[in-house]
Amino acid sequence: MASEKPKLEALEEEYLKIDKLPRLTKAVENVDKIIELLSAARDQVAAAPESHTAITITKLQNPVKTAFEAVNDGLKGAAAAHKKMGKALDKSFPLKPLPTDHDAMADHVPLINRAVAMHLLREGQFSVASTFISEVQSASKSEESADLNEPMGEGDDDGDEGMNADDAASTTSSENYDLSSFHSQELQQSFAEMYNVLQELKVKNLVPAIKWARKNAVELEARGSNLEFELSRLQFVWLFKGPSFNGLPDDENNGHSGALRYARSNFARFQDRHLKEINRLACSMAFAPNIAASPYKQLFAIDSAFSDVASSFTREFCSLLGLSAESPLYLAATAGALALPQLMKYTQKTLAKGTEWTTANEMAFETPLPESMLYHSIFVCPVSKEQTTDANPPMVIPCGHVLAKETLRKLCKGPRFKCPYCPSEGIIQDARQIIL
């Protein structure tokens, strides 16, 4: 990989070159020429006396022949351009067959449909989402009626044949998750609300966001979220900056006096949690004429403040719905693209060896993901090198070291064991399961 002329760039250049080559249009032009020749000859024959016919026709032969050759050249040109494209593709974008022998997702189309629908709603694509939902529903209806008509479905990838009871159960349970059972209307309303608020934040209007935060204050506080205060503080600063900065009407509700008014009527509710910050905001009033040179200037630097509150608002909003802030479908697809090379390498190797992927619960290979895509702590037992699970949970032993339960069981001689990491010994009864 030393030749770091990026392949994609090379490919693009090549494509642009190919785009300029003559193609079928050339052939069309020459067909036109033939038509001209023929119709000119026809007119000539029709107009001239009978004796001239043979000459006209004979004269026609050669030009038509060359024109036909040109048509063929046009075709050849198109084929050559196409061939070049193929070569460029093979060189800079060589085909790597995707793992297509087994579609693990085929049985779960209803669930994927639901995920797609939720993704569309979350992205604010309400009209696409509703088209999608209605198309899915009409399709599943027609499928149901088709199923009734034909008792013996030979469907290959529907997986509705040769299934054991277990699979059947999981399929029916997943079918409960079809689109009618997830309350798309409700969800749509929620996301519509979120979009309104975000839209307003974009035009620097904090009021709807503050309203929402106040409505959900109890929940937010229980989450330890400061969102409402952050928003209110920003509102204070925003008003403080005055009409020349925020473009709001120049009245008693704006500018320094507006900020003060706002603080008086709103900050009381934050007093016990954020007294310090409120004090600082209040003190800054004294420096009002020249904030930039005051010790409070940082409070008033709000360049990124709006986008910051927008993202914490999105996060809190989704969390209260039990949803992750970033679209899971987006994360999963991105993680999928990142992990796919490993999967393909693995399938190639196992294919070559003739072994099968036998681990049912755990992947057989590592799929490194960036830090930002890790959401849970992972504990791998330092002795057995296994990840802890519900069945094999992490245990803390009296010296504070953590081992997997299985490991501990194997370490035991009678009820006693020795810590593999420090000299201390313990008894099995003293080990405690922990939740990481």
| Cα–Cα distance, 411 to 420 (Å, whole number) | 9
Q: How crowded is residue 129: how many other Cβ atoms within 10 Å of its Cβ? A: 22
User: By CB under 8 A, what part of segment 2-21 binds other proteins?
Assistant: 6-9, 11-12, 15-16, 18-19
Residue 316 has a CB neighbour count (10 Å cut-off) of 21
Q: What residues from 180 to 199 belong to the interface with other proteins (CB under 8 A)?
A: none
If binding is defined by CB under 8 A, does position 168 make contact with other proteins? no
CA distance 350 to 41: 71
User: Which residues have CB under 8 Å from 408's CB, separation 6+?
Assistant: 395, 397, 417, 428, 431
Pick the binder of other proteins from 285, 338, 411, 412 (CB under 8 A): 338
Tokens 């519900």 belong to which residue?
390
The answer to the question of residue 271 lying near other proteins (CB under 8 A) is: no
Stretch that binds other proteins, among 149-157, 202-210, 255-263, 280-288 (CB under 8 A): 149-157
Among 180, 133, 134, 118, CA closest to 321: 118
- Distance in Å, CB of 97 to other proteins, minimum: 9
Report in angstroms how near the CB of residue 311 gets to other proteins at its nearest: 10
User: Which CB sits closer to other proteins, 104 or 293?
Assistant: 104
Q: Which stretch binds other proteins (CB under 8 A): 90-98, 196-204, 292-300, 408-416?
A: 90-98
Residue 372 binds other proteins, judged by CB under 8 A: yes
Task: Please give the residues from 278 up to 317 whose contact with other proteins meets the rule CB under 8 A.
Answer: 312, 315
Binding residues among 37-76 for other proteins as defined by CB under 8 A:
38-39, 41-42, 45-46, 50, 53-54, 57-58, 60-61, 64-65, 68, 71-72, 75
> Which residue lies nearer to other proteins by CB, 120 or 239?
120
DSSP category for residue 391: S
Told to check if 411 binds other proteins by CB under 8 A, we report no
Question: Which of the stretches 206-214, 225-233, 286-294, 423-431 binds other proteins when contact is defined by CB under 8 A?
Answer: 225-233
Tell me whether residue 188 or residue 284 sits nearer to other proteins (CB atom): 188
Structure tokens at 318: 């989704």
Q: Is 206 in the site for other proteins (CB under 8 A)?
A: no
- One-letter amino acid for residue 2 of the chain: A
- Applying CB under 8 A, among 341, 348, 415, 425 the residue interacting with other proteins is 341
Q: 375 by DSSP, 3-state: which?
A: coil
Residue 285 CB, shortest distance to other proteins, in Å, is 26
Pick the piece of the chain touching other proteins (CB under 8 A) from 32-40, 240-248, 285-293, 294-302.
Answer: 32-40
Q: Chain centroid to CA 161: how far?
A: 33
Q: Does 270 bind other proteins (CB under 8 A)?
A: no
The token pair at 4 is 């770091």
From candidates 70, 288, 343, 428, binder to other proteins by CB under 8 A: 343
Binding status of residue 333 toward other proteins by CB under 8 A: yes
Tell me if 379 sits within 8 A of 436, measured CB to CB: yes
Q: Helix/strand/coil (H, E, C) string of 117-157?
A: HHHHHHCCCHHHHHHHHHHHHHHHHHHHHHHHHCCCCCCCC
82 belongs to the binding site for other proteins (CB under 8 A): yes
Task: Quote the least distance from Cβ 217 to other proteins, whole Å.
Answer: 13
Instruction: Compute the Cα dihedral for 93, 96, 97, 99 and give only its sign.
Output: negative
Three-state secondary structure call for residue 330: helix
**Count, residues near other proteins per rule CB under 8 A:** 163
Residue 16's identity, in one-letter code, is L
Q: Write the CA distances from 374 to 38, 94, 149, 342, 378, integer angstroms.
A: 73, 32, 48, 18, 9
C-beta closer to other proteins: residue 159 or 243: 159
The nearer residue to other proteins, 287 or 365, going by C-beta atoms, is 365
Cα 417 from chain centroid? Answer: 48
Residues numbered 110 to 129 that lie near other proteins (CB under 8 A) are: 111-116, 118-120, 125, 127-128
